[in-house]
Amino acid sequence: LLVNGRAKLNDFNDGELLRWNQSTQSHCGFRRNPVEPWVRYRSPEQARKNELLTEKVDVFALGSILLYVLTGKKPFAGESMSDTKQKLRENFSPPISLDYRNSDDPADIAIVKAIDECHGPEVTKRISAEKVSLELRKIWEETHV
């Protein structure tokens, strides 16, 4: 969605108030089942169900949105919902064409890197949304001087 030439993104309403666990000194997780139309943008931990979720589900979705922005294709396009859910449960990420992976365009390189970092299978090592924003902003500023 473009508004006055600027891209606007939505987090699909997965925002959740995270409570703080005093004994572990970390955020408590939450549970949410995937909504069918948005399964292609859901994280592996959401597809597996019964796992505690964190803000990293939105980071995974951001990677899928960036994939769509880069390629113009929905994640797991052409696959059934049940096949998509199974692939997500097994930590498969939506594929990125070699045309983009082998590109020498700095923007393509940055977006592919961001997608890979957003789609990291290990939740605790998945990049933060803030870091994605900073990295993409840096490339934008370097290439649009």
- The closest of 46, 103, 51, 94 to 111, measured between CA atoms, is 103
Tokens representing residue 55 in the block: 């803000």
- The closest of 137, 143, 63, 64 to 104, measured between CA atoms, is 143
- Say if strands 2-3 and 6-7 run parallel, antiparallel, or are unpaired: antiparallel
- pTM recorded for the entire structure: 0.74
Q: Note whether 60 and 98 are within 8 A (CB).
A: no
Fold of the domain spanning 2-143: Transferase(Phosphotransferase); domain 1 (1.10.510)
Three-state DSSP state, 120: coil
- Domain positions in the chain are 2-143
Per-residue model confidence as pLDDT tens for the chain (145 residues): 456 767 666 555 555 556 778 888 887 766 555 455 567 788 888 888 777 788 898 899 899 999 999 998 888 877 888 888 888 888 888 889 999 999 999 999 999 999 999 998 888 899 999 999 999 999 989 887 6
pLDDT of residue 43: 86
Q: Please give the single-letter amino acid code of residue 51.
A: E
Residue with tokens 């408590």: 28
